[in-house]
A = this chain, B = another copy of it.
């Protein structure tokens, strides 16, 4: 066993050490009545010492009690994903320089990377050659220049990192070298970052496409290669500009959906088609080589279908990349304690996004705290925890009372986008009236319906 024993100790540690098996090795375990093959997984520290856990081909983990294991065999590592079985690796210099140039900014997702089972961490594909070797089809559509900016699980990315990423994209855009920018990203918070970039980078002359993978590239069911390929085709050839998220459209490996950055949500913990456009169609579907535009980017001014019509150093491009993290997203639930609102005010929060029930409601018990928050200059906005649909606060007394208090209804803006937008708005103005106007104006497709509140 290496220095890091992957959490194994006691009986399991001894058995694995005796056989020279390390975390990440392909092994076969035989018991009196079964034989299974898989990869040795790390063990979390608090788990019992008498089980060995392997990741099966199905992607699921299974645990085996050491005393019941009759035989354990280390086997040569299996071949990885089909896109990695390349006998003649492509080197970057072989890629035609007449192809569109794309920048790929890596932030730490599993996309085009390998999971290192020793640490559980993700090792990014750092060079263009590594990238083409992983997904050789890329070389048919674009010349890609990768750069590693961050290497983080996306749950650790927040407002500070959004600024870093946005500034890096702005740098790439302003260089005039690229027809598009790809951002590889962990999927956990990819939709929050997509929203952040949508507000930070306006009038983009090129597409910015976030792409992730729900399953790491060592798994037969990995979506990494196809997502990256779809993102590349879209960025290189769609002629659309703005911020998008490119992921599997369904569970089969044939269609990629490109979503508007502000209208997309991760709606499943593990499915490859976890990302869905909320109350909207995806902007485009990528099927093989073909791009089917479903729904032009909802901010008319930046949806340009004809590539010739925009200049790579677009004059109107703006990068306002700061965020004020003093915004709380509060999901209401029965029994919700209004003193959380008072706490936020006293802790210096400048904005509160309520995730209310139904059409945009919270209990009457919250009214005094909300009124106090608004009176002290906190921006309080309403979204719905239903996810689909829109708040309509004039239908019931509760909504009307909240409007009278000064709560800002956000139509069909999803809560995840609303918290990001409030952080951006409050970083860009000290004027509360202006912040309210920003929240209620459609900047990047985040409000798709303009029927009255």
Chain A interface (Cβ within 8 Å of chain B)? 7, 41-42, 44-46, 53, 60-63, 119-121, 153-159, 162, 187-189, 192-193, 266-271, 274, 323, 325, 327-337, 339-340, 343-344, 347, 355-365, 384, 386-392, 394, 396-398, 400-401, 403-404, 406, 415-416, 419-420, 423, 451-452
Contact = CB atoms under 8 A, between A and B. Distances in A.
Contacts of A364: 155-156
Contacts of A387: 267-268, 387
Contact of A155 (B45, B63, B358): B358
Nearest to A400: B44
Contacts of A343: 340, 343, 347
Contact of A158 (B192, B269, B335, B355): B335
A236 to B, nearest CB: 29
A153 B46 contact: no
Closest 5 CB pairs of A and B: A269-B389, A188-B357, A44-B400, A188-B358, A325-B335
Contacts of A398: 153, 155
Contacts of A156: 363-365
A453 B4 CA distance: 22
13 contacts: A45-B404, A46-B404, A120-B397, A153-B396, A153-B397, A155-B358, A155-B362, A267-B386, A269-B359, A270-B359, A325-B335, A327-B335, A340-B344
Q: Which of A7, A44, A158 has the most CB of B within 10 A?
A: A44
Contacts of A154: 357
A88 to B, nearest CB: 34
A361 B188 contact: yes
Contacts of A359: 269-270
Contacts of A360: 269
Nearest to A359: B269
A187 B451 contact: no
Contact of A269 (B60, B274, B384): B384
